[in-house]
Structure 1
Amino acid sequence: MTTYSKIVGTGSYLPPKRVSNQELTAQLAEKGIETSHEWIFSRSGIAARHYAEADVQSSDLAVAAARQALDMARMQPDDIDLVIVATSTPDHFGGFPSTACVVQQKLGIVNGGAAFDVQAVCSGFVYAVSIADSFIKSGAHKNVLVIGTEVFSRILNFEDRTTCVLFGDGAGAVVMTASAEPGILATKLHADGRHKDILCVPGKVNAGVVEGSAYLYMDGQAVFKLAVSVLEKVANETLQMAGMSASEIDWLIPHQANIRIMQSTARKLGLDNERMVVTVDQHGNTSAASIPLALDQAVRDGRVKPGHNVMMEGVGGGFTWGAILARM
């Protein structure tokens, strides 16, 4: 019998501190940095974002989202035999111990299952789901907890209005399990290191000291141009692998970075904007957390229903990109 992987639970968490464009622009004005709600919203579609408090880590957001996903899946933490966390803002400097191991400990998982982090920036959740799909299909693991979690507010330069207004904090999670019915229909991943410098944190560490900048840097125009080019292509590649057409997509859930990129992708795929899940207006860009956050919202408000075909795709620093076609 063929083994497939299927998403059986979703969850999400946003820090309570919500910051509107108006609030953020007022804070920036105190530093002599001029911007406005209209400037931010017209270029990105973002109206608000959430920031974690100083004592809250990526793992804390991840655990809250994971508990929701486990509840929906009707599983206990110890049912999980693999934890994969996609994050660019891990709890610990240097990325170890992995945030996945911290999440495993905080959830009380003591069954000896595996745990590791994935670093593909905003494509991280897509990469992590693809990895989980392969592990489940191979029989190596049965129940996998996949989480995208970020505290991007920690790496923002609030003197750079071109980037600090775009990002927020949050976490989203899914539980994937072995199934006799197809769930993940196809995945496709790509990367091109030639574009590594257009979206990065360029600082390096030497003898315990950061050399260069520890803040996020983005060449917005270059990222925009590359994103609109690759998202349509990878979606069509994934559809071809599944033997399906774009007309069979019930919902498009792209990485929530910029509404213009998202609408361009939907248009190229021949999909109405009404078939696209949008949370960028209220969440901002939450990097690896953005797709699972949007998926959970659409599942819980009843838009995404069992049997629906959902295309999830993202682009991120590296440069990385990829897509997942899932039957819910």
Structure 2
Amino acid sequence: MNQSKAKITAIGSYVPEKVMTNEDFSKIVETSDEWIVSRTGIKERRIAAEHEYTSDLGYKAVLNLVERYGKSIDDVDMLIVCTFTPDVATPSSAAIIQAKLEIRHADTLDLNAACAGFTYGIHMANALITSGLHKKILVIGSETLSKITDYEDRTTCILFGDGAGAVLVEYDEHEPSFITHYMGSEGEKSKNLYCSGISNLLFGEELEHKQRIVQNGREVYRWAVTTVPEGIRTMLNGINYPIENVDWFVPHSANLRMIESICERTGISLDRTLYSLEDYGNTSSATIPLALDLAVKAGRIKQGEHLLLYGFGGGLTHCGLLIKWTL
């Protein structure tokens, strides 16, 4: 039985102005537009300006949300920023955004679940509101991956872009958004996708690069196309929910070939799948809210439809949510 008392009431997004096309990459590494599109589905991505950071993108996504939905955020009592590219180690990007929004009474925290961050974040917001501890939470997925991308590594640099998406989650026991969830992590596989920080060691082994994204794409692909379909089946079987009843599938936009494999293994049509990678690349925790907002702006998602969100990535971590669209 659904015990949720939380509802998504608004959405907003922001991407930087600078566009980096596949042709731009062909000038700095050995690649081509045809090679990138055929293997990833990505055509272009947005790149933050030199002095534009994760908090700036997240802040502008919230302003976009407020402008479009006319929502007051003066009474927001929690900010959750999902990111693994914070402006600084501390204070949190959430605290910086709170200051910019001038909502002094809101609690703040950053949540790092990498590419599963947004689904983890709204799951946490649902839990905090349903428990009665909070009433109104801003969840922001914001990343500036260009700041930690190795532009000499042709296998990874073509993937990543910058962007932010935000949703407002509020108390509503009569028409909640959240139906069920499934989540997990396999930390023993974490060396397949990492970015070092204060330490350059992982499980006692020295990492290849400092403060740059390193990925074993083949292993991450194998893990995702197995783990995500299994997670979806477990989640939906737990409530006897037929997968045919899912109106829209919104996976993390890592790679179109990966999404196609997941769809094939679950029986979900690609026509019912929303993604943001074509224009924005892999923006980690921002891919799902960006995909949602693109569909909202295009009038594709209808009120009352059921959406299956599934984030997966560094950790290796994953989180799926079945929600009812209430906007």
TM exceeding 0.5: yes
CA contact (8 A) 2:276 2:288 kept: no
Number of residue-to-residue matches in the alignment: 317
* Between 64-73 and 16-25, the greater mean CA deviation after superposition: 64-73
Residue 216 (str. 1) matches residue 213 (str. 2): yes
Q: Which residue of 2 aligns with 1:284?
A: 281
Q: Which residue of 1 aligns with 2:230?
A: 233
1:124 corresponds to: 117
SS of the equivalent of 1:109 reads: coil
Measured after TM superposition, the shift of residue 25 of structure 1 is 1.4
* Structure 2 segments unaligned to the other structure (5+ residues): 201-206
**Who is 1:86 aligned against?**
82
**Is the contact made by 2:275 and 2:288 (CA closer than 8 Å) also made in structure 1?**
no
The 5 A counterparts of 1:311-326 are 311-326=308-323
1:251 aligns with 2:285: no
Q: Distance in 2 between matches of 1:84 and 1:227?
A: 25
- The CA distance in 2 between the partners of 1:211 and 1:263, in whole Å, is 31
CA positional deviation for 1:38: 1.2
Report the equivalent of 1:307. Answer: 304
Query: What residue in structure 2 maps to residue 168 of structure 1?
Result: 161
**Could you tell me which residue of structure 2 aligns to residue 195 of structure 1?**
189
Secondary structure of 1:167 counterpart: coil
Q: Deviation at 1:39?
A: 1.2
From 53, 56, 59, give the equivalent of 1:57.
Answer: 53
Percentage of matched positions with identical amino acids: 38
Gap regions ≥5 residues in structure 1: none
Residue 115 of structure 1 aligns with which residue? 108
Report the CA distance shift for 1:201/1:268 in structure 2 as closer, same or farther (over 3 A): same
Which residue is equivalent to 2:204?
A: none
Work out the CA distance in 2 between the residues paired with 1:134 and 1:294. 24
**SS of the counterpart of 1:78?**
coil
> SS at the partner of 1:164?
coil
Question: Following the alignment from structure 1 to structure 2, what is the Cα–Cα distance between the partners of residues 217 and 46?
Answer: 19
Cα gap change, 1:243/1:37 in structure 2, threshold over 3 Å: closer, same or farther? Answer: same
Cα distance, 1:182 vs structure 2 = 2.8
Over the aligned positions, Cα root-mean-square deviation in angstroms equals 1.8
SS in 1 for 2:108: strand
Identify the residue that residue 97 of structure 1 maps to in structure 2: 91
| Contact 1:122–1:287 (CA under 8 A) maintained in structure 2 | yes
Q: Note closer, same or farther for the CA distance 1:70–1:242 as it changes in structure 2 (3 Å cut).
A: farther
Normalised by the size of structure 1, how large is the TM-score?
A: 0.93
**In structure 1, what is the Cα distance between the partners aligned to 2:152 and 2:5?**
48
Deviation at 1:244, TM superposition (A): 1.4
Matching residue of 2:264: 267
Aligned equivalent of 1:40: 36
Contact kept in structure 1, 2:150 and 2:212, CA below 8 Å: yes
> Counterparts of 1:17-36 in structure 2 under 5 Å?
17-26=18-27, 28=28, 33-36=29-32
Post-superposition CA distance 1:45-81 (Å, at most 9, x none): 1110000001101011001111222344432221211
Give, in whole Å, the separation in 2 of the partners of 1:131 and 1:73. Answer: 23
Distance in structure 2 (CA, Å) of the matches to 1:236 and 1:101? 37
2:139 alignment partner, one of 146, 161, 173: 146
1:87/1:114 CA distance change after superposition, 3 Å: same
